[in-house]
Amino acid sequence: MDTLELLVHPVRLRIVHALSGGRHLTTSQLCDRVPDVSKATVYRHVGLLADAGILEIEGEERVRGAVERLYRLRRERAVIDRETAMAVPPEEHRRGFAAAMTTLIAEFNAYLDREQADPAADSVGYRQHAIWLSPDELAEMIDGMRGAIAPQLANEPAPHRSQYLLSPILFPIEHPPQE
């Protein structure tokens, strides 16, 4: 299974999110992060990601008399490179987008299901803006977004940090008007 096929699955994408930022989690801890997914399903998808080298065993720990593996994400392997993305046919883009949206909905529902969920205090946002951009303005905006987001990707878990899911989505909804 190639990286694209591995990462365009909602459960596997949620596992990748859970392990982002340098976290090390056992499969049981991952199950706690995705309580709406059966344990057998989580174990199966962790196995697929580990077999593909996207997850790596960081260590092992004893949990209730059993040995459980501690996994970490290999970020450099959990990437769909530009060449692959450019070669993907429209149907694969459709499938990838559907997986991303399914994942986003599942993560948002899991957030809202937590007792301490407070959308206002947590600065939850899901705004959409339809904007007109020239190719140069689009490139400048994307560079600005990358410049703002990229440094934060290296942040590791800490007592003062909450993990947020940021999902920039960008696609044209209308072609330039005819002059």
Render pLDDT for 12-24 as a digit per residue (tens, 0 to 9).
999 999 998 888 9
Please state the rounded mean pLDDT for residues 54-62.
91
Local confidence band at 179 (pLDDT 50, 70, 90 cut-offs): confident
The pLDDT score that the predictor gives to residue 98 is 93
| Inter-residue contact 72 to 19 (CB < 8 Å) | yes
Task: Check whether 63 has a pLDDT greater than 80.
Answer: no
C-beta neighbour count of 7 within 10 angstroms: 21
The pLDDT score that the predictor gives to residue 121 is 95
The pLDDT score that the predictor gives to residue 45 is 97
Question: Average model confidence (pLDDT) for the chain?
Answer: 91
Q: Concatenate the DSSP letters of all residues of 18-68 into one string.
A: HHTTT-EEEHHHHHHH-TTS-HHHHHHHHHHHHHTTSEEEEEEEEETTEEE
What backbone phi and psi angles, to 5 degrees, belong to 157?
-60, 140
Give the percent of the chain with pLDDT over 70. Answer: 100
Which is more confident, 80 or 48? 48
DSSP 175: P
Helix axes 39-51, 10-19, angle to 10 degrees: 70
Tell me the pTM: 0.80
